[in-house]
Amino acid sequence: MHLTTTTTILSLLLPTLALSATTTTSTPSSTIISHFAARYSLTSIPIYTSTSYAASVISLNAVATTYQINCLPSAPTSDCSLASPLTLIAGPNTFSFAEPFTASVEVAGVTVIEKGTEDLACSFTHSSESATCTVKLTVTASGAGKTTTTSHSTKAGIPTESVGYQTLTVTGGLESFTAPAATETPNVGVAGRAMVTGVPLGAAVVAVAVLL
């Protein structure tokens, strides 16, 4: 995936904002849940089809569910090319994930290697209503014998009209949906990360500028 530096952080991260635990279809071996999604721009963003990956329930309670997502063995790399499993944590009013990335860019004849993490955290009153999301990007850029690290945080409101839905097939941990823990409220906040591949934006540009 190649994006220009003018692409905003939100346009990269918001194709898939949150997973709700709403079950739309089920079989003895799988369940299809509804995908809360807010979209701004789909330019240069690969939209994974629901047939290219599947999820397993890692843990859940009344506040949020943790899903681990892997590419299906039969999925073409053009549809799903996760370097490591993707973990999403989502609930009726919250969603979060972290996205590690590695990219190489050519700047003024110098090859710069960028590595970092994009952190996304969203809150909303209902999965069909507007959301407030905070994106933090931390980038370490290395090139020409130099290394620099920078970070950038962006907060934005996602209007109701930008909210949509996708689907996700869950094939593992289905018994968790009916376990007693599914209705229990935790004593502490839910924490977790998700991993997918991506590219640096925003702060990455600053890192390169400082480096060179």
Could you tell me which residues are beta bridge partners of residue 170?
Answer: 31, 55
Which three-class secondary structure string do you get for the chain? Answer: CCCCCCCCHHHHHCCCCEEEEEEEEECCCCEEEEEEEECCCCCCCCCCCCCCEEEEEEEECCCCEEEEEEECCCCCCCCCCCCCCEEEEECCCEEEEEEEEEEEEEECCEEEEEEEEEEEEEEECCCCCCEEEEEEEEEEEEECCEEEEEEEEEEEEECHHHEEEEEEEEEECHHHHHCHHHHCCCCCCCCCCCCCCCCCCCHHHHHHHHHC
Token digits for 147?
Answer: 């290394």
pLDDT for the residue numbered 165: 63
pTM score > 0.75 for this model? no
pLDDT mean for each 10 residues of the chain (212 residues): 35 38 54 65 41 87 85 83 76 76 84 85 75 87 91 86 74 83 67 34 40 44
Residue type (1 letter), 166: Q
pLDDT for the residue numbered 28: 59
10 φ, ψ (degrees, to nearest 5): -65, -35
46 φ, ψ (degrees, to nearest 5): -70, 125
pLDDT for the residue numbered 105: 84
Longest CA–CA span in the chain (Å) reads 59
What are the domain boundaries of the chain? 9-211
pLDDT for the residue numbered 36: 60
